[in-house]
Chain A
Amino acid sequence: MTAPIRRDVLQDLEQFRSEARQWLEANCPESQRQPMTAADQYYGGRNAEYPSADAQLWFERVRDKGWICPEWPTEYGGGGLSAEHAKIIKEEMKAIRARTPLYSLGIWMLGPALLEFGNESQKQQHIPAIINGEIRWCQGYSEPGSGSDLASLQCKAEDQGDHFLVNGSKIWTTGADKSDWIFCLVRTDPDAKNQEGISFLLVDMDDPGISTTPIALISGESEFCQTFFDNVKVPKENLIGELNQGWSVAKALLVHERKLMSELGSESPREILVPSVAARQYLELDDGKVVDAQLRSDLVDYDMEMHAIGLTHFRTFEEKLAGVRSAAPLVMKYVGTEAEKTKSELLLAILGSQGLGWEGEGFNRAELDTLRLWAMSKAMTIAGGTSEIQLNVIAKNILQLPQS
């Protein structure tokens, strides 16, 4: 049913937009509207330090306004607003290029799953701490032997009466060396087939027996870690959902991760070059037109793809409001991350040798960032389910093609 939005509702939204704009204008410090580096990102947590006094001010103002998580219920510290209102806040923040005040896997991934599957005391314990930036979370899904075939994971949690005893290791745990807690998939029934014997467990990383090692990547960064569990005792009340039913929690959470990744392009903290803008700076032009026919063709292909992706994000939002189901959300991770890779290759081609600088003199910040982002973009079609896994999901769930 696609009832038109009522006029009074529209008026209320417009009123809200104007108030949000005014509030942001008055409360977002000028320094928090500038392009940022990774060092400017505030992730919160027990040992966190604010990158700057303005970053602290900005975070605290948004937190006190209830806009860190505008859609979450007020009883856990959320803003209690509708999806339309939350979208308006997002749009208005984007319009003034406001920095994200709190980067958090707790907000983007764990929180929505906790709200759906957690019991009351789990929500009380964890949700406000996520919103207030008190606890920094990381994710423990993949293992060295379990990548795309996640359900083959071996990290085990044995029932010891009043607690689980966890042994094994997790890989690609983003920011594990700086995180306070980890949400994990663990095997609780070694005899059950694949996903049936898996549970969803929250683990305090201060517990004895946990250690982390950073992994250096081709981008030169090491935001990922391997995390080891050696006889870690985890209280029973840290189990989310039913025992051996962790897969359904993980799947719900993956949906959030993929949605996030499909939108990542617009969220990146670096000074990102826009290909069509970079083209005017780095390419030979004739009467305003890019002379290199191949690059001009690649550029317009990319711009058209992004235009179409942007419109499809709008469509999925309108469909959500109208209660219409379509296949669009399920394809967004695939098209979004592939487009990000295309963009990075395009920027590298546009910058030529000036886009190949690794560090130091001879290159400006944007040029150096372009190369690092190019290297990082290779991970986008791998993390959160590879493009090939996304295509499998589309073939199975949308097209309902027979499974071999």
Chain B
Amino acid sequence: MALVLNEEQRFLQDSAREFLAANAPVESLRTLRDDRDALGYCPETWQKMAELGWASIILPEEYGGLDFGFTGLGVVMEEAGRTLTASPLFASAVVGASALLLGGSEQQKTDLLPRIAAGELTLALALEESQHHRPTHITTTAQANGDSFVINGRKTFVIDGHSADHLLVVARSSGESRSPQGLSLFLVPREAPGVSVQRTIMADSRNAANITLEGVEVNAGALVGTLENGWEVLEPVLDRGRVALAAEMMGLALEAFERTVEYLKEREQFGVLIGSFQALQHRAAHMQAQLELCRSVVLQALSTVDDAPEQLPLLASLAKAKLNKLVKLVTNEAVQMHGGIGVTDEFEIGFFLKRARVAMQIFGDTGFHKDRYATLCGY
């Protein structure tokens, strides 16, 4: 039963909620922001998360993993969405680990996955080259040079790009600049000669970077997947990322919504609780309806990763588009219904609004996924 959590998953949900409330509430993100923290997340908290098994949640046991599958991961992502917790969970333990799982050689898996699982090593996907998600529009080049490759190009919006130990760089060695053919994935140490990293301070106070690669030389062992067939790995990796992100956005939306509904039951104007106004009730009820639909979509998309990967592209685009729309609606309404305090920095609801906008752009905005869904449906 894919659409109802089992006992193990509900236990994971309870323990994740308890852990994050104690170790990484929204207040922690505010502190990281206000301190202009160099790393942008708390390494001690990340270490504890790894000890709980979260960094290895989708990995098979042979690589030190918990093997809970994507539904298990979704539970943790959702709870981390409620607390807006900054950590390498998404970039490294979901996207990076998936790339190695789906495309890595046995050597790469054995070397790297156990270290990712232990939280010792982090990865970041260096994909985007413009301000919109266009995963095949790659001009970064990889030129063969004997047994090695030389990479040149510029990447932007690289999530965790300033802190990850290794970058997974998408580069082109053949094909036209918008073609999925001719792309390859390379593992590049962030501190390799020729890599320069510019951290970008984003609205959500989380972590991203612009990265320039100038004559970066890597050997053939750095290739993840087969040469020029990188799209075969990249597309399912992106879909897994989209689904995990949708789960995070589900948690974000639920938290912002629940806080708003509570506020409607506390705030008095004109001598009555504002939650008694039908103008607000109907908007809140409409959001509840959309939350219910999105809940089903996210659960189905998560289970599709493990049980029906052939349907993943459709479900991933459905989930990302639906959740993009949901978090936009819910965070805008949350601010509006809180009134004046909703636009103050002191109040936390603004953090949800800002994270929502960044999450909406990662791995495809609403238009991107509507177009992809329509194309998959044949119109």
Contacts and interface: CB of A to CB of B under 8 A. Distances in A.
Interface of A: 1-2, 4-5, 276, 279-280, 285, 288-290, 296-297, 299-301, 303-305, 307-309, 311-312, 314-315, 318-319, 321-322, 324, 326-328, 331, 334-335, 388, 390-392, 394-395, 398-404
B379 A402 contact: no
Given A285-B379, A300-B374, A319-B3, 10 more contacts: A2-B1, A288-B379, A307-B318, A308-B322, A311-B300, A324-B4, A331-B293, A399-B281, A401-B264, A404-B278
B233 interface: no
B76 interface: no
- Tell me if A's interface is mostly helix, strand, loop or mixed: helix
A315 B4 contact: yes
Contact of A394 (B10, B265, B289): B289
Interface string B183-218: 000000000000000000000000000000000000
A43 B284 CA distance: 40
A279 B379 contact: yes
Contacts of B318: 304, 307-308
Complex A-B, nearest 10 residue pairs according to Cβ-Cβ distance, in ascending order: A394-B285, A395-B281, A315-B3, A308-B293, A331-B289, A391-B285, A311-B296, A401-B275, A404-B276, A312-B296
B341 interface: no
A308 B289 CA distance: 11
B374 A296 contact: yes
Interface residues of B, number: 44
A91 to B, nearest CB: 16
A297 B264 CA distance: 34
B294 interface: yes
A309 B289 CA distance: 10
A318 B300 CA distance: 12
Contacts of A303: 373-374, 377
Nearest to A401: B275
Nearest to A290: B379
B48 to A, nearest CB: 28
A307 B297 CA distance: 8
Contacts of A335: 289, 292-293
Contact of A304 (B2, B3, B273, B321): B321
Interface string B266-306: 00000011011110111011101100111111011000000
Given A309-B293, A401-B264, A280 B379 contact: yes
B7 interface: yes
Contact of B296 (A5, A289, A308, A392): A308
A394 B379 contact: no
Residue from A296, A334, A394 with most neighbouring chain B CB atoms (10 Å): A394
Contacts of B145: none
Contact of B275 (A297, A394, A402): A402
Contact of A401 (B281, B286, B296): B281
Given A311-B297, A312-B296, A388 B282 contact: yes
